[in-house]
Chains A and B, each alone.
Chain A
C-alpha cells in the first residue's frame, strides 16, 4: 500500500476513541515493545544513585558491624539507619521543592534563609503562647509561600535570572529572621510542637513521616495532574510551551511557591527539633545540600525531567556519607574534603561521558592485550 493511499482512506481524526478501532494489533505490538524499553530506561536512572547508596551503607557495615541493627525501645525503632533517615528530613523536604525549581531550569538559593524565617515565625508565635499549633504551622507555611511568591514573581514576571533573584532573599531572608528574633536565639517550651522534630509515630520519627507525607502529596499533585508534565515541558523549552498554550510564567511561579512551602516545612522540623530559632544558623548552607541531592538524583540543572524519589535518594546518600565519616573515626577536620571527593565520584559515575571513557579505557586495554 502506498503512503498516500493510507492517508486518503483513513478516517477523520476523532480523538482518542478512534484510536481504539484503528489498528488494535499494531498498538498491542507497540505496547509490547514499549514496556521493556521504558522500564529498562527507568531502571538505569535509579541504578547509579541506588548503587552509590548501597556502597556507602556497605562501607558503614564494614566499619561498624552493628550498623544495620535496629532496636525497639519505648514503642520506637532505634538504630544508625533510622538516624540517617531522620537527620535527612529537613534537606529531603528542601530537595523535593528544589527538584521542581531545577526542572524548570531555575534554582532557589533562598530555601535555607526561608527555613530560618519560618522557624523564627514559629518560635515567636509559640513564645507569645496564645496560638494553637495548627495555627502556628499554618502561618509558617503561609510565610514560606509568601517568600516563594517573591522569588517567583522576580523570576517569571520581572525576568530576573533565578540565581540572582533568589540570592536576594538568601541574604535578605536571614536578616528578616534576625529582625523577627531581635538578634536573639528564641527558645520556647512546647512539648507538642517539639514532637514535630523529635517525637515518634507508629515507631518512626515524626520528621520521617513528614517527608513521606510531603513526597506522597507532591507526587499526587504533580503526577495525577498534568502539572508535572507542564513543569518538564517548560523546563525543556519554555518558548514552545507558550506556543502550546501552557502558561509558562504561571508554571514557573508555582514551582517557587511549592518550594517556599517545602522550605517552611523544613524550617518547622528544624525549629521543633532544637526547640528554638537561631536566625544565624538555621538551615545554613542547606540549599546547597538540596541542590546537590537533586543533581545526585540525576537531574540536569538546565531543566527538564525530574524525579522526587531520586532526589530523596540523593539526600540519603549525602546524609549516609556524613554518618560514615563520623563512624570511621576520622578527625572531624577531614569531613568536608572527603564529602566533596565522594560526591565527585558519584557525579562522575552518573556522567555518561565519563562512563564511556571508562568503558573505552577497558576495551582499549583488552584490544591491545588481544593483539599482543
Chain B
C-alpha cells in the first residue's frame, strides 16, 4: 500500500482480496482497491481486466465470492444496488441508464422527487435541477424530454443524477464514474472535471474509470491498475510516468507505433469510390470525396459535423438526394445496406450496442451473420464452417473468450468491437467504413485495431475511418478529410498530416 500524505489515514472504502467467478471465467482474483475521502482515484486496465466487475461488486450489482469490503472500517456487503446507494456509494455506468421519455429534471430526481401535498412539486424539481446542472456549466431546458438532447448532455445528466441527493440515503461518500468522458468533447470534459474538483473538496472519493490516459493525469490523485482480474499495483499519479503506466496495464512495453508513417506512400492509386456533389437532406451537403484503392482515408470533425452521416450515406442507410456516386468504376445509387454489401461495402457502425452486435447471439453467429446475409437465407453456412470462421478470427484478432459460443453481449467492449470487425472481414469487402472503431476500448485492443487497419490496406482493402482521436488518424491515413457543419472543409495529405493542422481545419482557421 502506498504511503499517503493526507490527513485522513483510514480509507473510506476498502476492498480486499475480492474473488468473483463466472461460469468458466475467474473475473476477479484477489482484487483490491482503497479509496480515501477527497481523492480522484483512477481505476485502469485493459478491457476485460475486471474493472467493471470490481465496480459491480462494490455497488451491489454482483455478489463477491470471496474477500471483504470495508466501508468506514466496518465490513459491509451490499445485496442490491439500492443498499449501496443508501450507504452512500453512487455509480454512473458506461452506458447511460436514463429514461429518455421523461424530462431532464424528472430523470435527475427519479424516485426522490421533491413533493408537495404528496404530489410531485414540478416547480421545485425544475428549480433544483437547474441549480444542479448549472454547477456543470449546463443551462438547458430541464422540463424538455431527455431524448431531445445529445448523448453528451445525457451523460452529464447521468453524472448529475449520480451526485443528486437521494431521499433516505447517506450523502454520497463514493462516486463511481465508468467511462464518463467517452462521449464528451473537450469543453464538456473540462466542465466535468470542474465538478469533480468541487466534489473532491467536499470530501467525496471518486473512482474514475477511463481509457483516456491524458485525462488520468489531469484529474486523478492515485491510480490502481488491474490486469486479467488481478490487482497489479497502486500508484501516486504524480510519480508514475505514462510509459510506466502503460507497461503496468499491458504487462509489456507498448511499441511507439503511433508515430509510424502512413502505410502507403501517397501515390496516384485508382479510386474505389468517388462522390461528386453528393447531398442528402440536411445531413450531408455537396460532398466531393475520392477514396483511393488500398489506402485508409481519415474522416475528422467534431461530433455532429457529418462524419457519421457520410458513413450512413455510403452504406445505403440514407439516400442521396442529388449528386453522383460511383463505386469501382460504376455509377451506383445506394438504397439499402444489402445492396451496398453486395457491391463490397461494409460498415462498422458507431454505436456498437444498438447498431452493431446482436447481443444474445453467440460470437460464432455474430461473426458469420453478415456472410450469411450476403449468401442469402437459403444457403446455410454449416455449423462447422461457422465454427472454423469464428475460430480463425478469434485467433487472428486475439478475441479473449473461452469459446465461440459465448454470447457477444458478455464480452468486454474491445472484444465486441473485434467480433464486429471479424464479421465484416469475413465478407471480404472492397471498402470498409469504420465509424469510431476505437471508441471505448482499451489501449491494447486499440493498438491492435490500428495495426489491423494498416495491414488491411497493405492487402488492398480501402478504408474510410472516422475518429475523434486525431493522433490516431494520422497514424494510418494517407489523407484526412475534415468536416465541419455537414460540409467538407479541408482535405489534408502529405506534410499536413498532423494533429495541429487537423485541429486548425476543424476550428476553421484554414478556410
A2 and B377 within 8 A (CB): no
Check if A71 is an interface residue, CB within 8 A of chain B.
no
Task: Find A226's partner among B23, B355, B372 (CB 8 Å cutoff).
Answer: B372
A22 and B378 within 8 A (CB): no
B403 and A243 within 8 A (CB): no
Check if B282 is an interface residue, CB within 8 A of chain A.
no
A19 and B388 within 8 A (CB): yes
A4 and B447 within 8 A (CB): yes
By a CB distance below 8 angstroms, the chain A residues around B171 are none
Give the distance to chain A from B47, nearest Cβ to Cβ, in Å: 12
The number of residues on chain B lying at the interface, defined by a beta carbon within 8 Å of a beta carbon of chain A, is 63
Query: Which residue of chain A has its CB nearest to the CB of B373?
Result: A245
Check if B239 is an interface residue, CB within 8 A of chain A.
no
By a CB distance below 8 angstroms, the chain A residues around B393 are 13
Query: Which residue of chain A has its CB nearest to the CB of B386?
Result: A16
Check if B402 is an interface residue, CB within 8 A of chain A.
yes
By a CB distance below 8 angstroms, the chain B residues around A225 are 377-380
Task: Find A243's partner among B317, B425, B459 (CB 8 Å cutoff).
Answer: B317
Q: Quick check: which of A232-240, A268-276, A342-350 contacts chain B, the rest being far away?
A: A232-240
Contact mask for chain B residues 396-435; partner A; CB cutoff 8 A; 1 contact, 0 none: 1110001111000000000000000001011010000000
By a CB distance below 8 angstroms, the chain A residues around B357 are 237, 240
Residues A305 and B369 in contact in the complex (CB < 8 Å), given A7-B398, A13-B426, A27-B391: no
Residues A37 and B356 in contact in the complex (CB < 8 Å), given A23-B391, A226-B380, A244-B337: no
By a CB distance below 8 angstroms, the chain A residues around B505 are none
Give the distance to chain B from A244, nearest Cβ to Cβ, in Å: 5
Cα distance, A342 to B402, chains bound together (Å)? 40
The number of residues on chain A lying at the interface, defined by a beta carbon within 8 Å of a beta carbon of chain B, is 45
Q: Which of B314-367 contact A (CB under 8 A)?
A: 315, 317, 336-338, 340-342, 347, 349, 354-361, 365
A22 and B395 within 8 A (CB): yes
A244 and B359 within 8 A (CB): no
B403 and A244 within 8 A (CB): no
Residues A7 and B448 in contact in the complex (CB < 8 Å), given A15-B428, A233-B361: yes
Give the distance to chain A from B163, nearest Cβ to Cβ, in Å: 31
Check if B4 is an interface residue, CB within 8 A of chain A.
no
Query: Which residue of chain A has its CB nearest to the CB of B444?
Result: A3
Give the distance to chain A from B72, nearest Cβ to Cβ, in Å: 26
Check if B189 is an interface residue, CB within 8 A of chain A.
no
Give the distance to chain B from A73, nearest Cβ to Cβ, in Å: 44
Q: Which of A3, A224, A240, A245 has the most CB of B within 10 A?
A: A245
Give the distance to chain B from A63, nearest Cβ to Cβ, in Å: 41
Check if A152 is an interface residue, CB within 8 A of chain B.
no
Query: Which residue of chain A has its CB nearest to the CB of B341?
Result: A245
A18 and B392 within 8 A (CB): yes
B365 and A229 within 8 A (CB): yes
Cα distance, A10 to B396, chains bound together (Å)? 7
Cα distance, A181 to B315, chains bound together (Å)? 52
Check if A33 is an interface residue, CB within 8 A of chain B.
yes
By a CB distance below 8 angstroms, the chain B residues around A227 are 377-378
Check if B385 is an interface residue, CB within 8 A of chain A.
yes
Cα distance, A27 to B392, chains bound together (Å)? 9
B338 and A16 within 8 A (CB): no
Cα distance, A226 to B397, chains bound together (Å)? 26
Give the distance to chain A from B26, nearest Cβ to Cβ, in Å: 15
B426 and A245 within 8 A (CB): no
Query: Which residue of chain A has its CB nearest to the CB of B426?
Result: A15
Check if B257 is an interface residue, CB within 8 A of chain A.
yes
By a CB distance below 8 angstroms, the chain A residues around B392 are 13, 16, 18-19, 22
Give the distance to chain A from B406, nearest Cβ to Cβ, in Å: 9
By a CB distance below 8 angstroms, the chain A residues around B257 are 4
Cα distance, A23 to B360, chains bound together (Å)? 27
Cα distance, A3 to B387, chains bound together (Å)? 23
Query: Which residue of chain A has its CB nearest to the CB of B391?
Result: A27
Residues A243 and B388 in contact in the complex (CB < 8 Å), given A4-B451, A37-B24: no
B402 and A233 within 8 A (CB): no
Task: Find B385's partner among A16, A26, A34, A243 (CB 8 Å cutoff).
Answer: A16
Residues A22 and B396 in contact in the complex (CB < 8 Å), given A13-B426, A31-B387: yes
Q: Which residues of B contact A (CB under 8 A)?
A: 23-24, 252, 255, 257, 315, 317, 336-338, 340-342, 347, 349, 354-361, 365, 369-370, 372-381, 385, 387-389, 391-398, 402-405, 423, 425-426, 428, 444, 447-448, 451-452, 455, 459
